[in-house]
Amino acid sequence: MAKKYGMIHDNNLCIGCQACSVACRSENKIPESVYRLQVWVKQEEYPNGQLGYEYHRQSCVQCENTPCVSVCPTKASHVNEEGIVLVDVDLCVGCLYCVAACPYQARYVHPVTKAPDKCTFCHESRLSRGEEPACVTVCPTDALVFGDLNDPKSKINKVLSEKVTYRQKETLGTNPKMFIVPNHKGGINS
Amino acid sequence: MNQIWGSMEQYNTVVWHWPIAVYLFLAGLSAGAIISAIVIKWMKGNDVSPWDGIIKAGAILAPVTIGAGLLLLITDLTRPLHFWKLLIHYNFGSVMTLGVLALFAYFPVVILFFMGLFKKELFETGSLKFLAPVADFALTYTRLIEGITLVLAVGVGAYTGFLLSAMNSYPLFNTPVLPALFLVSGISAGISANLIVGLLFFNSSTKDSNVSYLHGLDVKVIFVELFFLFILFVGMMYQGGSAEHVAKMALSTGGLSSLLWVGVIGLGLVLPIGLNFALPQGVKHSHGFVIFNSLIVLVGVMSLRYYILYAGQIFVG
């Protein structure tokens, strides 16, 4: 069976250290001022008065029903056989329909190619060498879990079976393959 | 939310800028101009040469405005030199591809319509004489070409709305009524542009009865437009959640909401309706008033495209 890659971001383990963001930039040679990945922090005050932090991984959520691919007029935006959403720069005319249609603001215009670019799960670099994405490898708290959703024995399916997860903007029907373990201390903000 | 580290500039939700608004305006105007020209041409007494000035106006405006709009659209691409890839790579699930295909057919038929209409002036003598057979073809199949043009024009006018409504990332775009609103306001813009060009440049051949008919039609179309705009916002209010929030923001926030109330609704819709009822017949049918009325309608339709494009992208819930 073909692989179907997905990822989990555990809000309880994440400490907002930015190692993932830095690793992504250096591994994928991301130009200055644009980002495939950022980690945002939101200060929360829980009902009992305690303070806490919510972390948000801002990157492509690798939808199964992909708005960006549906709107692309030239099929430059496409999903590969491993379920990863990619951009074929050669086919791209730069209409930015995909950038606008993405409900997760995952895409930016690459300053050199002028085509939209985004998280690829390190498909073109580390994944092709049999390694995990750079962000997952460097995460000091193992807040990121990566793996094949079609393999029942994969680490990601083990975690998905044991922990409560949700996905962003599920009502849109995009079916993201980026799962979030919500903060156990507070409510779920999807 | 705080980004901790790095620039947030790329997360601006405004992706498409004013050239897209102008394109949406021009595409709608082009469709409206050819639709109203054909409607006039199919009326008794107008279906033979010499052609009415309004028909001539539509024949010129339709290809010129869509051409200008497409040129603007291509130069607005981030990779404009690759634009030709749109013509050979298709995704039939994409509204943009469907638009490209509709325009592929629409552009030639509006040019054929133009050539048939101006055969005597342009193609019977002079340097363009070699195109006479094409103009003859246009005249031979005139009814068929006009029928096809009418269908394609409706397609082009509505597609500009579907282009935006296909995106569920923006609640104000993602509404079923947007294509109908854009089609109707495009027709209104086309009627107005035809009246202006017909009265200013083909005054001697423009019949007053046709001017009155189109002007009267425009007032009815404006009523429909006003109703569709009402449906758009009321529908969003009833949806609740982020759609309701976005509708409230878009109706009340900043310069954009002023543009809606003053430019789109006040100047473009309410004033033309009000003047039509308030002014005496003599003034209402004077060429000066019709031109003035048409100008404010055009400003209103352009304001609507600009408002929807920006408000839709800025207020995302």
pLDDT at B250 over 90: yes
* pLDDT mean across residues, chain A: 95
* Minimal C-alpha gap between A158 and chain B (Å): 31
Q: Model pTM?
A: 0.95
Judge: A93–B15 Cβ closer than 8 Å, yes or no: no
Q: Give the pLDDT band (50/70/90) at residue B282.
A: confident
Judge: B82–A56 Cβ closer than 8 Å, yes or no: no
Place of tokens 């590969």: A80
**Residue A137 Ramachandran class (φ > 0 left, ψ -120 to 50 alpha, else beta):** alpha
Contacts A42 to B, Cβ<8 Å: 1-2
Judge: A73–B96 Cβ closer than 8 Å, yes or no: yes
Task: Please report the pLDDT score of residue B31 as a whole number.
Answer: 98
* CATH number of the domain to which B215 belongs: 1.20.1630.10
Contacts B4 to A, Cβ<8 Å: 16, 18, 38-41
* B140 lies in some domain: yes
Name the residue in chain A with its Cα closest to that of B98.
A73
* B2 lies in some domain: no
* B290 lies in some domain: yes
**pLDDT tens-digit profile of A6-55?**
999 999 999 999 999 999 999 999 999 999 999 999 988 888 888 888 89
* B4 lies in some domain: no
Q: Could you give the angle at the alpha carbon of B24 between the alpha carbons of B18 and B27, nearest 5°?
A: 140
Structure tokens at A128: 């092709």
pLDDT at A65 over 90: yes
* pLDDT mean across residues, chain B: 96
pLDDT at B170 over 60: yes
Contacts B7 to A, Cβ<8 Å: 33-35
Q: Give the pLDDT band (50/70/90) at residue A187.
A: low
Q: Would you say A179 and A63 are in contact if contact means Cβ atoms under 8 Å apart?
A: no
* Minimal C-alpha gap between B81 and chain A (Å): 8
pLDDT at B10 over 90: yes
* B144 lies in some domain: yes
**pLDDT tens-digit profile of B200-225?**
999 999 999 999 999 999 999 999 99
pLDDT at B97 over 90: yes
**Does the beta carbon of B79 lie under 8 angstroms from any beta carbon of chain A?**
yes
Judge: B168–A96 Cβ closer than 8 Å, yes or no: no
- Parent domain of B169: 13-314
Q: Give the pLDDT band (50/70/90) at residue B48.
A: confident
Contacts B80 to A, Cβ<8 Å: 93-94
Judge: B7–A115 Cβ closer than 8 Å, yes or no: no
Choosing among B8, B89, B95, B101, which should be mutated to test the A contact, i.e. which has the most A CBs within 10 A? Answer: B89
Task: Please report the pLDDT score of residue A188 as a whole number.
Answer: 61
Task: Please report the pLDDT score of residue A189 as a whole number.
Answer: 61
For residue A38, give the nearest of B6, B80, B95 by CB distance.
B6
pLDDT at A5 over 80: yes
* B3 lies in some domain: no
Going by C-beta distance under 8 Å and a sequence separation of 6 or more, which residues neighbour residue B15?
A: A96, A99, A100, B313
Mean pLDDT within B51-71: 97
DSSP letters along chain B, please? -B-SSS--GGG-S--S-HHHHHHHHHHHHHHHHHHHHHHHHTSTTSSSSSPPHHHHHHHHHHHHHHHHHHHHHHHHSSSGGGTTHHHH---TT-HHHHHHHHHHHHHHHHHHHHHHHTIIIIISSSTTGGGHHHHHHHHHTHHHHHHHHHHHHHHHHHHHHHHHHT-TT-TTTS-TTHHHHHHHHHHHHHHHHHHHHHHHHSGGG--HHHHHHHHHHHHHHHHHHHHHHHHHHHHHHHH-HHHHHHHHHHHHSHHHHHIIIIIIIIIIIIHHHHHHHHS-HHHHTSHHHHHHHHHHHHHHHHHHHHHHHHHHHH---
Mean pLDDT within B233-245: 96
pLDDT at B284 over 90: no
* B253 lies in some domain: yes
Mean pLDDT within B167-187: 97
* B262 lies in some domain: yes
Poorest-pLDDT segment among B47-51, B69-73, B110-114, B180-184: B47-51
Pairing of strands A51-58, A38-45: antiparallel
* Interatomic CA distance for residues B153 and B173, integer angstroms: 22
**Does the beta carbon of B44 lie under 8 angstroms from any beta carbon of chain A?**
no
Poorest-pLDDT segment among A64-68, B189-193, B202-206: B202-206
* Minimal C-alpha gap between A183 and chain B (Å): 16
**pLDDT tens-digit profile of B13-30?**
999 999 999 999 999 999
Q: How many domains does chain B have?
A: 1
Closest Cα partner for A175 from A8, A77, A70, A63?
A: A63
Poorest-pLDDT segment among A145-159, B60-74, B113-127: B113-127
Task: Please report the pLDDT score of residue B17 as a whole number.
Answer: 97
Q: What domains does chain A contain, in order, with CATH numbers?
A: 5-181 (3.30.70.20)
pLDDT at B172 over 80: yes
Task: Please report the pLDDT score of residue A45 as a whole number.
Answer: 85
Choosing among B169, B242, B314, which should be mutated to test the A contact, i.e. which has the most A CBs within 10 A? Answer: B169
